[in-house]
Structure 1
Amino acid sequence: MIIQPMIRNNICMNAHPGGCALNVQQQIAHVRQAGPVTAPKRVLVIGASAGYGLSSRIAAAFGAGARTIGVSFETPAKGSRTASAGWYLDQAFQKEAGAAGLQHKSIIGDAFSHQVKEETIREIRSMMEQVDFVVYSLASGVRIDPDTGEMYRSTLKPIGRDYRALSLDSRTGEVAEATVPAATEEEIAQTVKVMGGEDWELWIKALQAGGVLAPGAVTVAYSYIGPKLTFPLYRDGTIGRAKDHLEETARSLDTVLRESGGRAWVSVNKALVTRASSVIPAVPLYLALLYRIMKEKGLHEGTIEQCLRLFSEKLFTGEEPPVDSLGRIRIDDWEMRQDVQDEVERDWEKITVETLPLLGDVEGIKEDFLKIHGFGFPEIDYSADVEVSS
């Protein structure tokens, strides 16, 4: 089957297995070139099939030789429909890890469920007895409560008033104004239920109860703050409320884990093109400006560079990680440098359809958008037949 990107409303509906495999291979090559990583050797990644979760697993496995278990919810190919990008990325990781002689296990299922937690605990006992490092990188729009069966949906909306801003189409590079209505109290509560820290805490408690969380274990969950430009929609909106809850959960878990020598952290990461960020008004436009500025300054990083720096310079140095006033690790430090943000704000005021190609790295945004789905790699012949079930 010949696979070309099928995009609707800034969402890519398919994925290319060859491109996804190359994505993983390039990340592994970067880790190997960077050299050994100091990190725990028994690692669980919840939300391991793409983005920061996948890069965390690659960094731990290929940088530190860790045994890894990855949990993710992805869909295989069916008929003429391709598998999800995360499915192909996970399959590629397993193939490369196997070839490198690295112990690994991927669990495909609903990470919110009791069943997947129990299956993961069994696999930990069988494969590594206990885990020393737990990464929580779960991103989902829907959560089904495992006890009540009730479904919750997250929304990305402002709180208190409607939000209007320019938006960039990640596929075409076109600029248009977007309006997002203010959230209801119910939408706020449901977003916190899906994207907050409740499930992270349930995972840690389940691992403790199952006897598979090692004394001194460290856990980290990933978050984002972003610039003041996007605060009305993001950090001051429904997702921001969920991130506040995630950070409160980190402080609570840290208190508990300290009793056995462990720690819990939130890592605030850099803004990057993801399947989620591509549909958030104003964010792709901000990313276009940010990419150009950070590339010009030699500061641009992708997920694998971010994870390597997090492990090597923040989490596992043998010393207390540097944190901000709220106890968060800031791996977005280069993004939020004053000189970077000053330039972003200056250029933001100049954006028009005509000036954007000069002010923003539109091609870089489009390229990253395609690559997270396995498209846009010059090394891949996208006119060739491929097996979608690979």
Structure 2
Amino acid sequence: MIVEPKVREFICTTAHPTGCYENVKRQIAYVKDKGTIEGPKRVLVIGASTGYGLASRITAAFACQASTIGVMFEKPSNGKRTATPGWYNTVAFEKEAEKNGLYAKSINGDAFSLEVKEKVIEMIKEDLGQVDMVIYSLAAPRRTTADGTVWASSLKTTGEAFTEKSLDLRNNTIVTKTVEPAKDGELEGTIKVMGGEDWMDWMDTLHGAGVLSENAVTVAYSYIGPKLTYPIYYDGTIGQAKRHLTKTAEKINEKYSDIKAYISVNKALVTQASAAIPIVPLYFAILYKVMKVQGTHEGCIEQISRLFHEKLFVEKPVTDEQGRIRMDDWELSDEVQDKVMECWKNVTTENVAELSDIDGYWQDFYQMFGFHLDGVDYAKDVDLEVAIPSLEK
């Protein structure tokens, strides 16, 4: 079948298997070019198939020569529609890992569930004995807890409604968007889904099963962003959940003397989740322009490679006053933010292409789904039904 991108506002409903494979290969090539480091050798990545989780799995494997187990929740092709991009990414990762003599297995299921946690523990015991690093990189719209309650996350303010400029992705025009305050239960639901409760459950379960090595490291990913987006992010429902995540790292460190937990605050990047947030895409597009001009722009793989090489696996990781590793240091520099705010004040529909990197924003968006990659023949028939090797065994 010939696969083309089908986009509705901020959602792409198709993925290209060859394009996704090429995207993964390029990330692997980047990591290999940076060289190997002394790091973890047995790594569990929870949320391993896209974005920062995929970049983490690639970096652990190809920079540290680590064996990896990846947990994801992806859909295969049914022959008529494509698989999800994370499915095709995992196919590519496992095949490339095998070529390089690296152990790589995946578990496809609900990472919030006890069933998946038990499957992971069984796999660790049978294949690796223990793991020395756990990466928690889940982004989900909802979570079912053990008592059967379904919690949903929401993107709302926690105070008054917030109105600001935004980018209409349907036609690249500047519009005004309003984000409404959270209703009863929406803040609690967001914290349940996006906070640290499930991360803590994972660490308790893994530790209790004896599958964590002594002095194991665990990292969860977060975002803060500029003051411009505080009302809808850092001070909004998502930001409150991320605060809970930070407190969870403190609790893990207090509870377990043999585990070191970190929060890595990462840079703003185009993801399936961020594309849906009002106001944020315009900020991202302007930020991309500014950071590319200054030569400091990074994608997921560049961020995580720098995290591993320069921030985390060093003699003494540098953290802020809350114990967080700040990978957003370049984004939030005064030099970058002053220029971003200057562009923000002046941006209009007429000059948005000049003051922002809309093309770069859309390129990143399409490449998440395997499209718009140079060297891929998109006019060629491709097989939609490709298997993740470890799931076939």
TM range (shorter): over 0.9
Q: Does 1:44 align with 2:40?
A: no
Question: Match of 1:349, SS?
Answer: helix
Per-residue Cα deviation, 1:93-150 (whole angstroms, up to 9, x for no partner): 01111111100111100000000000000111111100101000000001011x2111
Question: Match of 2:185, SS?
Answer: helix
Q: Does 1:215 align with 2:211?
A: no
User: Do the aligned partners of 2:9 and 2:169 also contact (CA within 8 Å) in 1?
Assistant: no
Amino acid at match of 1:107: I
Partner of 1:160: 159
Amino acid at match of 2:141: G
Mapped partners of 1:171, 1:74: distance in 2: 27
Partner of 1:3: 3
Q: Does 1:302 align with 2:302?
A: no
TM alignment of 1:91-110, pairs within 5 A: 91-110=91-110
Partner of 1:238: 237
Amino acid at match of 2:163: R
Q: TM-score of the superposition, structure 1-length normalised?
A: 0.97
Q: Does 1:339 align with 2:335?
A: yes
Partner of 2:391: none
Question: Match of 1:176, SS?
Answer: strand
Deviates more, 1:79-88 or 1:108-117: 79-88
Say if 1:63 and 1:19 are closer, same or farther in 2 by CA, change over 3 A: same
Q: TM-score of the superposition, structure 2-length normalised?
A: 0.96
TM-aligned CA deviation for residue 9 of structure 1: 2.4
Partner of 1:55: 55
Amino acid at match of 1:255: E
For structure 1, the 5+ residue unaligned runs are none
User: Do the aligned partners of 2:172 and 2:349 also contact (CA within 8 Å) in 1?
Assistant: no
Amino acid at match of 2:337: Q
TM-aligned CA deviation for residue 166 of structure 1: 2.0
For structure 2, the 5+ residue unaligned runs are 387-393
TM-aligned CA deviation for residue 175 of structure 1: 2.5
Mapped partners of 1:183, 1:200: distance in 2: 24
Question: Match of 2:45, SS?
Answer: strand
TM-aligned CA deviation for residue 268 of structure 1: 0.1
Mapped partners of 2:160, 2:187: distance in 1: 13
Amino acid at match of 2:55: S
Partner of 2:227: 228
Deviates more, 1:173-182 or 1:343-352: 173-182
TM alignment of 1:361-376, pairs within 5 A: 361-376=357-372
Decide which of 264, 288, 291 is 2:288's aligned counterpart. 291
Partner of 1:355: 351
Question: Match of 1:179, SS?
Answer: strand
TM-aligned CA deviation for residue 314 of structure 1: 1.1
Partner of 2:185: 186
User: Do the aligned partners of 1:67 and 1:103 also contact (CA within 8 Å) in 2?
Assistant: yes
Amino acid at match of 2:343: D
RMSD (CA atoms)? 1.0
Mapped partners of 1:198, 1:251: distance in 2: 12
Amino acid at match of 2:294: K
Q: Which stretches of structure 1, 4 residues or longer, exceed 3 Å deviation after superposition?
A: 169-172
Amino acid at match of 1:330: R
Say if 1:309 and 1:255 are closer, same or farther in 2 by CA, change over 3 A: same
Question: Match of 1:222, SS?
Answer: strand
Partner of 1:149: 148
Mapped partners of 2:119, 2:275: distance in 1: 33
How many residue pairs align between the two structures? 386
Decide which of 268, 272, 276 is 2:273's aligned counterpart. 276
Percent identity, please. 52
Per-residue Cα deviation, 1:342-361 (whole angstroms, up to 9, x for no partner): 11111110010011111101
Say if 1:170 and 1:132 are closer, same or farther in 2 by CA, change over 3 A: farther
User: Do the aligned partners of 1:37 and 1:308 also contact (CA within 8 Å) in 2?
Assistant: no
Amino acid at match of 2:277: I
Amino acid at match of 2:314: T
Mapped partners of 2:102, 2:288: distance in 1: 34
Mapped partners of 1:192, 1:41: distance in 2: 32
Per-residue Cα deviation, 1:222-248 (whole angstroms, up to 9, x for no partner): 000000111111111000110010000
